[in-house]
């Protein structure tokens, strides 16, 4: 068994950047925009914000509390507070890490390819055909492997030397790029149609269950909740950290970047008259419509598009390292493996699991649906029950490092009642529909 002292973040800022790096990723730019388009614009956005606040934030604080309290990776942290019978839930978290990173890295590979070829050669006007080539087969597989290699490299360098250092450099750059792009988009003629689409709310959409399912899945995916990623990162915090403050910073940064990304994507698409492409949005929409827009912008498009995809690569990388860290930390704690060995062996295994997603975007879409609708929402449900009902004194644990905020009982009650009820309701609908998606592959 490893007897080395547990790794720690070197500063509070470093932890926050790493956690924000986990949250902000393809979810904020790729998934958020395509789901917003698919689910009718602003109604979806409002719902997503509400769910993040009422359901996501309490679960985020629950994960941070478990991780910092136990100072252990997910499987052992659950056993620490709940006994061995809770270990299987930790195993499900690790399985989710394998599953999500396997296809996340394929999409990240597309973004690397687009960033490189966009900057070097310019964007291809025949974006749909280009996407077909980039997104599947050996091309997709090669970039997926390269991206996994980068992720493994960083995780192998440890918590403060690899993950924290990477996030501290890359996250401010990502913020700067996304904000600059939003300003640029606002100067385009015709951007107004995009804002209208994005920001005008059609409340009738809220009667559709699919919209609720998508918004709940997105809230969890975007905040990296329901599979122990935030728990794992919090396990490297010292016991005096102020967890409520950290949760709020993470959630605000995550929602903020998603929202600003929308202010980039929709005005650009409308300014270039590509809005009809957005209606029938799918996994690939962003990778077809936006390059088309960048190609039409000419020389400027090369710079603007290049920066956009660089931001996506950065976001994807800092999220992927948190996904791999869940799996790696479990092997270090549970099997006594060295960090380097765990990163290489488990990262390589994940690369192999990603092969079907690299060959077929329908498989990729189905894996994404299973991961979000079942694993993350189910994981969030179980975490709420665990911290709400099972754990002895979660309020006391949070109160370490703060002055014991008055709303702690409200938080506990949200975890006991509102969060499981809401997630139970969504899962009730999500399980059969996800099953149909998977069955339709065969």
The nearer residue to ligand PFF, 26 or 342, going by C-beta atoms, is 26
- Residue 76: CB minimum distance to ligand PFF, A: 18
Q: Using the rule CB under 6 A, which residue among 16, 18, 19, 26 binds ligand PFF?
A: 26
Token pair of 305 as six digits: 């598009």
Token pair of 385 as six digits: 């029950």
Contact 156, 162 (CB under 8 A): yes
Give the interface segment with ligand PFF, choosing from 11-19, 260-268, 297-305, 317-325 (CB under 6 A): 317-325
Binding residues among 91-130 for ligand PFF as defined by CB under 6 A: 100
Q: Using the rule CB under 6 A, which residue among 147, 221, 287, 381 binds ligand PFF?
A: 221
The burial of 148, by beta-carbon neighbours within 10 Å (0-12 exposed, 13-18 middle, 19 or more buried), is given as buried
| Alpha helix ranges (H) inside 122-242 | 127-135, 137-156, 165-186, 191-199, 209-222, 229-234
- Residue 365: CB minimum distance to ligand PFF, A: 16
d(CA 417, CA 408): 14
Q: Using the rule CB under 6 A, which residue among 156, 260, 323, 343 binds ligand PFF?
A: 323
Q: Which residues have C-beta within 8 Å of that of residue 348, sequence separation ≥ 6?
A: 148, 152
229 binds ligand PFF (CB under 6 A): yes
Q: Name the residue with tokens 């490092």.
A: 401
222 binds ligand PFF (CB under 6 A): yes
- Residues binding ligand PFF: number (CB under 6 A): 15
The nearer residue to ligand PFF, 159 or 297, going by C-beta atoms, is 159
The nearer residue to ligand PFF, 105 or 289, going by C-beta atoms, is 105
Q: If we measure between CA atoms, which residue out of 37, 88, 66, 58 comes closest to residue 211?
A: 37
The nearer residue to ligand PFF, 104 or 270, going by C-beta atoms, is 104
CB-nearest residue to ligand PFF: 27
Contact 317, 151 (CB under 8 A): yes
Q: Name the residue with tokens 């370490």.
A: 400
Contact 419, 59 (CB under 8 A): yes
Give the interface segment with ligand PFF, choosing from 26-34, 165-173, 302-310, 434-442 (CB under 6 A): 26-34
Which residues are at the interface with ligand PFF (CB under 6 A)? 22-23, 25-28, 100, 221-222, 224, 227, 229, 319, 322-323
């Amino acid at each position: 068994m490893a007897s080395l002292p547990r790794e720690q973040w070197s500063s509070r800022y470093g932890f926050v950047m790493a956690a924000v790096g986990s949250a902000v990723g393809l979810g904020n730019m790729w998934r958020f925009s395509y789901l917003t388009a698919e689910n009718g614009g602003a109604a979806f956005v409002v719902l997503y914000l509400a769910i993040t606040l009422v359901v996501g934030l309490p679960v985020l604080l629950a994960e941070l509390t478990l991780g910092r309290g136990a100072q252990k990776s997910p499987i052992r942290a659950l056993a620490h507070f709940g006994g061995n019978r809770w270990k299987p839930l930790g195993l499900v978290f690790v399985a989710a890490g394998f599953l999500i990173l396997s296809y996340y890295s394929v999409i990240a590979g597309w973004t690397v390819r687009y960033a490189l070829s966009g900057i070097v050669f310019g964007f291809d006007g025949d974006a749909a055909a280009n996407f077909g080539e980039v997104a599947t087969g050996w091309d997709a597989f090669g970039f997926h492997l390269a991206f996994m290699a980068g992720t493994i490299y960083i995780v192998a360098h440890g918590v403060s030397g690899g993950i924290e250092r990477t996030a501290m450099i890359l996250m401010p750059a990502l913020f700067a790029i996304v904000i600059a792009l939003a300003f640029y988009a606002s100067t385009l003629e015709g951007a107004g149609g995009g804002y209208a689409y994005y920001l005008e709310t059609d409340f009738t959409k809220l009667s559709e269950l699919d919209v609720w399912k998508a918004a709940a899945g997105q809230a969890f995916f975007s905040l990296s909740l329901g599979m122990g990623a935030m728990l794992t990162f919090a396990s490297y915090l010292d016991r005096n950290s102020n967890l409520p403050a950290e949760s709020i910073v993470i959630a605000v940064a995550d929602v903020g970047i998603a929202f600003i990304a929308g202010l980039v994507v929709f005005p650009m698409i409308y300014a270039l008259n590509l809005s009809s492409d957005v209606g029938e949005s799918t996994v690939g929409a962003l990778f077809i419509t936006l390059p088309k827009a960048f190609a039409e912008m000419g020389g400027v498009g090369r710079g603007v598009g290049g920066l956009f995809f660089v931001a996506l690569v950065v976001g994807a990388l800092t999220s992927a390292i948190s996904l791999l860290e869940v799996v790696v930390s479990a092997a270090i704690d549970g099997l006594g493996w060295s960090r380097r060995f765990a990163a290489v062996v488990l990262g390589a295994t994940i690369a192999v699991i990603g092969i079907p997603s690299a060959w077929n975007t329908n498989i990729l879409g189905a894996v994404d649906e299973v991961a979000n609708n079942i694993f993350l929402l189910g994981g969030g449900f179980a975490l709420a029950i665990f911290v709400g009902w099972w754990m002895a004194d979660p309020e006391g644990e949070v109160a370490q490092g703060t002055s014991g905020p008055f709303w702690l009982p409200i938080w506990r009650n949200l975890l006991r009642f509102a969060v499981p009820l809401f997630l139970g309701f969504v899962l009730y609908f999500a399980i059969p529909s996800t099953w149909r998606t998977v069955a339709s592959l065969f």
